[in-house]
Each structure stands twice: as C-alpha cells, then as structure tokens.
Structure 1
Amino acid sequence: MFPYYLQQGLRSLRRTPVLTALMVLSIAMGIGASMTTLTVMHLLSGDPLPGRSEHIFYPQLDASPRGESARKEPMDMLDYTSAVDLWRDGPADRKALVVDSSVKLSASSSSEPPSIATMLSTTADFFPMFQVPMAFGAGWSQDDDERRARVAVISWDLNQRLFGGKDSTGQMLRIRDGEVRIVGVLKPWRPSPRFYTVAGGRFAQGDTADYYTRIEDVMVPFFTGLQLNAGNFQQFTCWNLPSNPGHLENSDCVWLQLWVQLDDATKVAAYRQFVDGYAQQQHQLGRISQPELTRVRSLMEWMDYNGVVPRDVRLQAWMALAFLGICLFNTVGLLLAKFLRRTGEIGVLRALGATRTMVFQQCLVEAALVGLAGGFGGLLLTLFGLWSVRQQPLAYADMMQLDMQMLAITFAVSVMTTVAAGMLPALRASRIDPALQIKAL
C-alpha cells in the first residue's frame, strides 16, 4: 500500500501548492535554525579523542591553605611539587605534564625574522597518549625528559613558515637565548577543542582567539622548557605572591596540568587511591590542608566540568529549538486545515472500504513528504547558517562545517518531527463520518 499512499500524497500536495509551500517553508526555517545551532554545539563539544577519551584522566588536588570558607572543589591546576610528584610516582600507563608559554624563536637556516610563538613544555608520553600525528621524525624519549635534552617538535605551520614544508628534522631552532634540535614535525593537527589545556572554564592561558584555531608552534621537554623560558610562565592562582615572578618552581602557585592514561577500571581505581594517599601524606607533612579535595576526572568529564561550550551557544540552541516548536505548531494547524478540506474525498474512500487505519497512514505519508521537502530546505538554510557563522569574528568560526552525522540528523529530525506534528490532523481526518460527508456531496 505504501506506493499507493506515496502517489496519493504527491497528488494531494500538488493540488494545493500554496499551502504545501507554506508548510515546507515553516519546517525548513525551524530545521535550519535548530540544526545550525546544534551543529555548532556538536562541533564544540564533540569527543576530541574518539575511542580513547574514556582512558584519559585529569587528576586534581588542592595544595592551597584553608581559607575562611573551605573549598568544595580543588583548583583546576596543580602546583609544581604536586604535579612533579604525581608525574614521577603515579601508577599510570602514560603521564604527561603540560604548560604553555610565549617565546621568541628563530631559525638560522631560515630567512624569516624572529617572531613570538607559543611553546608547549610537556613530557614524552604526550605524543602517544594523545595520538599526535607526525609528518617527519618523532617525539623525544623519556630519557630526553630526564636529562633535559635540547630537542623540539614543531608544528606543521611553523615548519611551512621557516623551512618551506621540507623535512626539517636535524635543523636547529633558537628559543630565546638557547638552541634546540628539531626531532619531529607534526602533521596538520587540530584537536577540537584544544582539550589538553582546558582549565578554569577557559582554553589554556593565552589569547582566547587561539583556543580553537591553532596548536602550539613548538613543543619541548618539560624541564628543558622551564630552563629555556625561565621567568616567562604565567601563574594560574597564587596564595602567596612569588618572590621571583615567572619562576614558579618553588612558588605557592598553581600553574601546571597533568594528564594520565589508565587503560582499565582496575587501574583507574588504583590511581584514585594513589592520589588520595598522596594528599593524605602531604597533609601529614603540613603542605596540604584539605586532603579530601581530590578528583580524577575523565577527559569528557573534565570538559563538561569546565563548560567548554560557550554559554551564548547553548542559549542560541535552546532558542532555536523553541523556534522549531513554534514552526511545528504552525504546521499542525496547516495540516489540519488541509486534511479537513478533504472531508468529502475521505468520506468517499471510507464508503468504498478504506479503514480508519488506512486513512490515518495515508495522511502520515503525506506529512512525511512535507517533512522530507522541509528537510531539503532546512539543509540549505543550515548550510547558509553555518556559512554565516564562518563570517563572524569568532575563534571557532572556520570549524563550522556540516559533517555526515549532522546531515543525517537533519533529515531524520525533519521527517520525524513533521510526522509527529501530522498525527493529530491525521487522527482527526481518519475519524470523519463517511455517511455525513457523502450525504453532503
């Protein structure tokens, strides 16, 4: 019966082109507005490490002194002593310290003048833990971390700018007053969002325009970075002002992040127990006042805790969904008017033997056709909406592209919502009394 319902639905829609156009336009506008904002949310809050994020964790503890009111959550970053202790002794499969800072760099083999760039000081496990893709060479080793080797991995963009995109491994790079040897060059890599420097409800410590648009220009071993860029690291929070600003190794400041990889639930439980035990030990030594403030959050839990999706995007999404609801109510009224105008036709069908179920199904097929047409219109409006977002001065603007998942959702939402909106009009149409309608003909 479906081919027959489809044929009759198309014929019915062609008989009332103006009413059909109004319904399709109404659905298209609601779908276009809602899918544009939902796509933005999807791209900003998506899993940056699909299949691996459940194994990546962010440990926290609070080394600040107890104030007049005790904290309910630990600070978002770690002090130097806690971070290095957890990194050296923690029972994790992989561990990576992370801190970024601005540096002046240049290359003697390049004609490019010295420039200010962003440097990430991290440890060797950073690359395999986050599956960082390499175009040339590789990351450094754990031995390089311990012996403070003067080596570096540079970004694809920096390699293009300084070396014309050629394999630059073995070349020397000058960072402030020291030189490092390039051992690796990244492929174009842009995690969305740049999750490994999320803290305090914001992305990293630098310019907010960089949170979505770029990664660091150069990466060096953690302790090497502290030597090369001494005095230029920014503190996140201090409970005593550092005696030597920028030199934060022995300061009462939090400014470091630590990521760990735990491959199964047993290791997660053991690591949480280790962090709790460390906090208790430091409490007994008088360094930590609130040992109960420990957390080991997974990557997605950490992103959710920090609210990586901007509030205005969430608000726009709710407003767009409300607009879609208004469009659906409008469509309900239009479908009801359309179906009730055909009472004579429906009465004849019933008199010829069509059941209420058959009439109901035929009306739903017609509503689904409206939803499918509205989906095509909504897709065009969604593409236009995302194009409009890309024209805005937003840090994440150029990321706004419709992927296959959201494309499928666009049509699914359009058809499902229109069918749902058509159920009441279809039910009313199926309950028409054929005797009264035939008598009135």
Structure 2
Amino acid sequence: MFVHYIDLAWRSLRQTPMVTFLMILAIAIGIGVTMTTLSVYHMMSMDPIPHKSDRLFAVQLQTMDDGETWLTDDDIPYQLTYPDAINLAALPGEFARAAMIRAGFSVHLNTPRSKPFIENARVTGRDFFSMFDLTFIHGGAWTEAQSRDAAPVVVIDEEMAQQLFGRTDVVGESLFLGERRQEIVGVTQKWRPTIKFYDLNNGSFGKAERLFVPFSHVKAYDVDTWGNTNGWKFEETRDFNDKMNSEMLWIQFWVQLDTPQQRQAFGDMLMAYMQQQQNQGRFNRDTLAYSLQDVNAWMNYNDVISEDNKILVGLSFMFLAVCVANILGLLLAKFMRRAADVGVRRALGASKRQVFYQHLVEVGLLGLLGGALGVLFAQLGLLGVRQTYNYYESLANMDWVMLLSAPAIAISACILAGLYPAWLVCRTTPATHLKVQ
C-alpha cells in the first residue's frame, strides 16, 4: 500500500509542475538557511575530543589579593603567572601536564630560494602531544633533557614539512626561527581541531598551530606570548625578565587526570602549593581557591557558544516556519482542487484514513525532494561562510548527522504543513461530488 501511495504522490506532483516546483523551492530555501546556521552551531557545540574530554583539565588559581576582582563569574583568572606555571610543572606525580603560550616566528631555511613567512607557534611541554592526541608520522617529541636544556629543537606538522622541504620525512633537517637554527625532531599529522579548546584566550575558532617548541625557550630565548596578557595590579616591568617574575597572567596550563583519585591528589597539591605561596607573601586572601575544569566545562565557562549564535539558529527556524506557512497555503489550494477525485475514491470504498495517509505521503515526498535540494543550498551557504570567515573553516561543514537531519527536518516540516490540508480533504463527502459528476 505504501508503494502505491508513493506512486500516486509522484503522479500528483507531476500533474502540477509549477506548484510542485514552488513548494520544493520554498522548503529547499528554508532548509538551506536553517542547515547553514544549524551546522555551524552543531560543530561549535560538539565535544572536540570526546574520548578523553572528561580527563583533561584547565587549571586556574585565585592569585589575586583580597579586594581584587576579575571578570569571571567565580572571580578566578583564566591564565596563570609564569612562576606558577613553572612550579606546577615541577609538581610530583605521574600525570601529564603542559604549560603553554601562543607565540610566533619568522620561518625560513636561510637559503636564497626560501621565502620567510610568519607562523604561529605553540610553546609548550612535551606532554602536549599525547594529551591532545597529535600523531607523529616521523620522529617524536623532544626529550626531557632537551626540554630542560632548552635545546634548539622543533616539531612541525606534515603540511609545513611539505611546504618547506617538499616531503614529510625531514627529521634531522633544520629550519630557522628568525635567526635561530632549530633541528626538527618530529613531524606530526595535520592537526585541525574544530575548536581551539586548549587555548580559548586567543580565539575559540582560530587555526591550530603547525609549529611547536619547548616551553623552556620562553626563559632561554625570551619568547613572549602572542596572546593575551592580563594583570590585576600595577607592576613596573622594564624588561622580559621582570614580566616573567611578575604577577601578570599569560600562561595556560592543562593536566590530564585519568582517575578521581588523581584529581583529588592534584587538587590537594594545588591547595598545598597555594598555602606555601601565601606564606611567602602571595595569594593574600582569606579563602584560597582554584578551579579544575574539563574540556566541555571550560568551553561553557569561556562562552564558546554565545547567545548570538543561539539567536541566529532560532531566527533561521523562524524563517523555515515562514516557508512552511507558504507551503501550507499552496497545499491547501492544491488538495481542495482534487476534492472531486477524492470524492470518487471515497465512493469506491477508500476510507478517510487511507485518503489522509495518501496525502501525507505526498507531502513527505515533497519534503524529501526539498530536503535534498536544501542540502545543496546549505553547502553553498557554508562555502560562503568559509570564504568570508577563515577562522570558521573547520566549523562551516556538514557532518553525517547534519546530512541526515536536513531531509528529516524537511519531511517533518512538510508533514506539519500538510496535516490540515490532508485532514480537510479526507473529510470530503462523496455524495456532493458524485451529484456534480
């Protein structure tokens, strides 16, 4: 029976090509606009590292004195001072940890044919690669000894290796960061998380770095941050050494704690550290506080998805509702024109339920066709977003969930629009139209 209904629906759509085209176009435009905004919102709200997001924690310390406030709800700064980052990195325990900043360098090969280019870099600890799932295709991270000695080493990704050398197996080769020669010790696969969750202080949707150097370079080579630096009191900083020893906040710090016991132990160490610092004249507060937030909590804390994004999705669904209202009017006119045919079917034994289902199948088929065309419109919309906003490149895409959602939403919207016209036409009285015939 269902196949028969599809056949009847297809015949009906072909009998009124102009009306059918207008309805398909209306639902396609509505789906195109809705899926463009919904796809970006969906990618924004996805867990960027689902298999371990509940084991990675951003560390915050309440470093300010009593009476000083911060712009966060819990009054705790987003970042750490350099001394705190160094001290936390030295805490005992078998857990991965990584202090980090965003920096940048002029990259070249120091040859006439090598054109220098400016590249963002992640200055971090060697645990960064395992914590955030970067995969090495050649070599590996720098060693503990190289990190301790601030050895001139670097890790790059395969894209940069191809750009510089025309191949990926470049371990042992050298490149220059400004005037400093660095040995390549590892090459990673291209790594492009949809959200730059590990450093939300410098833009949630920026491109991930392709270049990595040890965190010890900060002190050894005066590598300053290209990100945000904040402070809660006036301090005279005449040089970079003063900045490193100040209460300025410019370092991000992450830890991986795989068990509740590890988390409790690390929390106890943080509190003991803060009490120790308080005894040395810092953290002058009656109540010491710290925060450990996992990946998803950290994104919520930093308002990765703003109210504007939610409003935009709501407006797109309102636009879809307008399209559905137009389709309802067209369906009402089309179905009522077929009242005489329905009357004959009813006289020949078709029930109201069968007539109702037949028309719902027709509007469902209409939704399927409109949804398929709407996916193409959405792809054009997402292409426009990618070309207009480079930092949305990894977000302006449709995954399989969105690809399946588009026709599902379109079919549901069309069925919703067709409920009243289908109900109205199935109540047709056979005798009325048989007399006319």
Q: Same fold (TM over 0.5)?
A: yes
How much has 1:418 moved relative to structure 2? 1.5
Q: How does 1:189-228 map to 2 (within 5 A)?
A: 189-199=191-201, 202-203=203-204, 211-213=205-207, 215-228=208-221
Number of residue pairs matched by the alignment: 432
CA distance in 2, matches of 1:197, 1:36: 26
CA distance in 1, matches of 2:394, 2:214: 31
CA distance in 1, matches of 2:321, 2:435: 39
Query: CA offsets per residue over residues 350-372 of structure 1, 9 Å max, x none?
Result: 33332222222111101101101
Deviates more, 1:347-356 or 1:102-111: 102-111
How much has 1:191 moved relative to structure 2? 1.7
Counterpart of 1:206 in structure 2 is none
1:6 and 1:366 in contact (8 A); partners too: yes
Deviates more, 1:231-240 or 1:160-169: 231-240
Counterpart of 1:95 in structure 2 is 97
Q: Structure 2, unaligned stretches of length 5 or more?
A: none
2:201 and 2:227 in contact (8 A); partners too: no
Counterpart of 2:291 in structure 1 is 295
Deviates more, 1:393-402 or 1:339-348: 393-402
Letter aligned with residue 244 of structure 1? R
Taking structure 2 as the reference length, the TM-score comes to: 0.88
Counterpart of 1:323 in structure 2 is 319
Counterpart of 1:403 in structure 2 is 399
How much has 1:311 moved relative to structure 2? 6.2
1:257 paired with 2:252, answer yes
- Picking from 381, 384, 394, the partner of 2:380 is 384
How much has 1:28 moved relative to structure 2? 0.7
CA distance in 2, matches of 1:280, 1:363: 73
- Picking from 111, 130, 136, the partner of 1:134 is 136
Q: How does 1:406-421 map to 2 (within 5 A)?
A: 406-421=402-417
How much has 1:92 moved relative to structure 2? 6.4
Letter aligned with residue 240 of structure 2? G
How much has 1:394 moved relative to structure 2? 3.8
Report SS of the residue matched to 1:374. Answer: helix
Counterpart of 2:335 in structure 1 is 339
Counterpart of 1:351 in structure 2 is 347
Report SS of the residue matched to 2:213. Answer: strand
Counterpart of 1:240 in structure 2 is 234
> Relative to structure 1, is the Cα distance of residues 357 and 139 closer, same or farther in structure 2, using a 3 angstrom cutoff?
same
Letter aligned with residue 119 of structure 2? A
Deviates more, 1:15-24 or 1:1-10: 15-24
Counterpart of 1:79 in structure 2 is 81
Q: Structure 1, unaligned stretches of length 5 or more?
A: 204-210
Counterpart of 1:208 in structure 2 is none
Q: How does 1:52-201 map to 2 (within 5 A)?
A: 52-67=52-67, 72-73=73-74, 74-89=76-91, 93-108=95-110, 111-176=113-178, 178-199=180-201
Letter aligned with residue 219 of structure 2? L
Query: CA offsets per residue over residues 314-343 of structure 1, 9 Å max, x none?
Result: 443332221011111222222222222222
2:124 and 2:212 in contact (8 A); partners too: yes
Report SS of the residue matched to 1:395. Answer: helix
Letter aligned with residue 109 of structure 2? A
Q: RMSD of the TM alignment (CA)?
A: 2.9
2:157 and 2:187 in contact (8 A); partners too: yes
Report SS of the residue matched to 1:260. Answer: strand
> Relative to structure 1, is the Cα distance of residues 394 and 166 closer, same or farther in structure 2, using a 3 angstrom cutoff?
closer
CA distance in 2, matches of 1:432, 1:327: 27
Q: How does 1:421-432 map to 2 (within 5 A)?
A: 421-432=417-428
CA distance in 2, matches of 1:386, 1:127: 31
1:57 and 1:297 in contact (8 A); partners too: yes
Report SS of the residue matched to 2:370. Answer: helix
How much has 1:286 moved relative to structure 2? 4.3
How much has 1:88 moved relative to structure 2? 2.5
> Relative to structure 1, is the Cα distance of residues 363 and 292 closer, same or farther in structure 2, using a 3 angstrom cutoff?
farther
